[in-house]
Every structure is written in C-alpha cells, then in structure tokens.
Amino acid sequence: MAATTTHGQGHALPAHPPSGLESLDMRKLGMWIFLGSDCVFFASLITTYFVNRSLIFAGDPHPHHVLGINFTAVLAFILLGSSLTMVLSLAGFQRNDITAGRNWLLATAILGTLFLTGQALEFSNLAHEGVTLSSGLFGQCFLIMTGFHGTHVFIGVIWLLSCWLFAGTGRFNAKNFMGVEIAGLYWHFVDLVWVAIFTLIYLI
C-alpha cells in the first residue's frame, strides 16, 4: 500500500506528489514526439538540398534568379502573424472568452489559407520558368521540401477550422483548452519550419 500522510483531522494525502511526467497530458506528449520526428524529416530534406547545392548551382538556374524572394518574404510575414493570432486564440479560451478564442482561431486559419494561396501562385510561376519535379535537381529538392511543408500547413488549416467548429458547441473553455493548445503547438512548429526554410533556401 502506498504510504500516506495525514493532514488536519485524518485526511489522507499522497506521500509523494505526481511526477512531471505523470502530470503531463499524454496528448501533448504525443504531439511533442510527433514534432520531434517531423524535425528529423525536415532536417533530412534541408540537408539533402545543401549536400547537392554545388550540383544544383552548376546544372540548374540559380535559386535567387527564379524564386520570388520579396513575394515569399510577405508570405513568411503572414505565417509569422498567424502564430500571434494562435497565441491570442489560446489566451481567449484560457480566460473563458469563447468569442475571442473562436475569432482568433478563424483569423489564424485565414492567414494559413492566404499563405497556401501564395505558395500555389509561386509554384505556378516556377512552372512557367521551367522549374518542375522533372526539370532537374533543384526542382526536385525545392518542390518536395516546400510542398511537404505546404501539406503541413494545409493539415493545420483543416485542424484549426475543426477546432473553430468544436468551440462553437462549447467544447473549449477556461477548464478545457488542451485541444486548442495542442493545435497551437503544431501550428507554431509549422511556422518555425518555414522560417528555417526561408532563411536557408531563399536568403543564403
């Protein structure tokens, strides 16, 4: 039998408080594990690009000559802004302001959709420039990496819209906001990955 201590008039208390691992929500732990594995995958894609960088520059158009860096900088700003709206959404639910939480969730999803629209335009422009998956090493490395990230953004937008709908039924509030928090973890990860891709691929 686990040891207990008494407090006041015979009320039994646990001898040892729950450990940090025991008190951590398993859904959040699962998300952290998933994000860790996703970090490895994105790191491998970026590494592949840099390992083949000399071959890319030798045989294909220089990325800076075909990529719309200014346009993509605007997209990066939009995605970073969506991280702020995600924080505001979670804060709204934590203080039981359901309307604010839902509005900021919807704003985050809209910003994510704007990013995806811009990325689709960029892919279309690259195709007109002759950069496709079959055009060479640069097309393969760049489009797979950014396309995989875009897939993550698309999944995130669907997830955010689902949270927005659930919040309308009263599912999320000051006592139950873990679903929004986990969605926020995923969304912030997607934003940070784009910062890394934009810096390493577009600027360097």
**pLDDT for the residue numbered 150:** 95
Phi, psi torsion values for 7, nearest 5 degrees: -140, 130
User: Is 5 domain-assigned?
Assistant: no
Kindly state the tokens that stand for 66: 């075909």
Q: What is the pTM of this model?
A: 0.82
pLDDT along the chain (204 residues), means of 10: 45 46 72 93 88 67 68 92 97 95 97 96 85 80 90 97 94 92 96 91 80
Does any domain span residue 8?
no
Cβ burial, residue 160 (10 Å; 0-12/13-18/19+): buried
191 neighbors 143 (Cβ within 8 angstroms) = no
Closest CA to 180 of 27, 22, 23, 24: 27
Supply the pLDDT for residue 60. 59
- pLDDT score of 8: 46
Whole-number Cα distances in Å, 126 to 39, 112, 119, 152: 26, 21, 10, 21
- So what's the pLDDT on residue 50? 82
- Determine, yes or no, domain membership for 165: yes
Residue 91 lies in a domain: yes
Look at the chain and report how many structural domains it folds into.
1
Q: Is residue 30 part of a domain?
A: yes
* Within a domain: 58: yes
| Residue 139 belongs to a domain | yes
CB contact at 8 A, 166 and 114? no
Decide if 153 is inside a domain: yes
Q: Residue 22: its pLDDT value, please?
A: 47
CATH code at position 107: 1.20.120.80
Q: Percent helix, strand and coil across the chain, each rounded to 5?
A: 75, 5, 20
User: What domain range is 87 assigned to?
Assistant: 26-203
Nearest one of 105, 110, 99 to 173, comparing CA atoms: 99
